[in-house]
A and B are shown apart, each in its own frame.
Chain A
Amino acid sequence: NAGVTQTPKFQVLKTGQSMTLQCAQDMNHEYMSWYRQDPGMGLRLIHYSVGAGITDQGEVPNGYNVSRSTTEDFPLRLLSAAPSQTSVYFCASSSTDRGIEQFFGPGTRLTVL
């Protein structure tokens, strides 16, 4: 199993551009989530999904959209990138809900100029 994969690993955007961060898992996990990690801030939950077709907001959802059309994929869309969205983004999955072991992807380092 590949586990949780994320693409791209690095990305540089200009302010106002849009892009999609990809996340996929091959463990048939129902729960998937997106976090951002800023220096000294730990991880903050952006959006999460408890299954295909179901998404919900986390702690810091503004400026991001998600969808969950399949169990495997959970893309994160930046609608109009801002410098404040410069961060490292992690995708995670778990078999049932957020309260058990989560498996993390390797992260996407995003810089918005």
Chain B
Amino acid sequence: SQQGEEDPQALSIQEGENATMNCSYKTSINNLQWYRQNSGRGLVHLILIRSNEREKHSGRLRVTLDTSKKSSSLLITASRAADTASYFCATDANDMRFGAGTRLTVKP
């Protein structure tokens, strides 16, 4: 079974808008990571947040973690067409399980 579950499955926005993706997981974790996958490519690590952190920033990315709700969110601000990709969360519990991802489309 998958540990991370992303929501929504697909998201379409206009360039310049913000994109928010959510991730829920089932068991206790030490950390949670977000990855991006461009079509036909391998995954690229975006950001890692530890279980004792509530929020983390990296450029236009903002990640939050709520361990009481077992959920995380990824916010991409001022989106660009180049942000079009699939986004995955992964936790370190149970052999680093990935969710099915959120497919983000940013229209120019």
Q: A105 an interface residue at 8 Å Cβ cutoff?
A: yes
Among residues of B, the one whose C-beta sits closest to the C-beta of A41 is B100
Q: In the complex, what distance in Å separates the CA atom of A35 from the CA atom of B99?
A: 13
**Is B101 touching A42 in the complex (CB atoms < 8 A)?**
yes
Residues of B within 8 Å of A, CB-based: how many? 21
What chain B residues lie within 8 Å of A41 (beta carbons)? Answer: 2, 100
Q: In the complex, what distance in Å separates the CA atom of A113 from the CA atom of B92?
A: 35
Q: Mark A22-36, 1 if CB is under 8 A from B, else 0.
A: 000000000001010
**Is A102 touching B92 in the complex (CB atoms < 8 A)?**
no
Q: A103 an interface residue at 8 Å Cβ cutoff?
A: yes
Please classify how large the interface on chain A is, using the bins under 10, 10 to 19, 20 to 34, 35 or more.
20 to 34
Q: Among the interface residues A4, A33, A42, A44, which one has the most CB atoms of the partner chain B within 10 A?
A: A42
User: Residues of B at under 8 Å CB distance from A?
Assistant: 2, 4, 30-31, 33, 40-45, 48, 88, 92, 95-101
Beyond A104-B42, A107-B40, 20 additional contacts (C-beta under 8 Å) are A4-B42, A33-B96, A41-B2, A42-B2, A42-B88, A42-B101, A43-B43, A43-B88, A43-B98, A90-B43, A97-B92, A98-B96, A99-B30, A99-B31, A100-B48, A102-B43, A104-B44, A106-B42, A107-B41, A107-B42
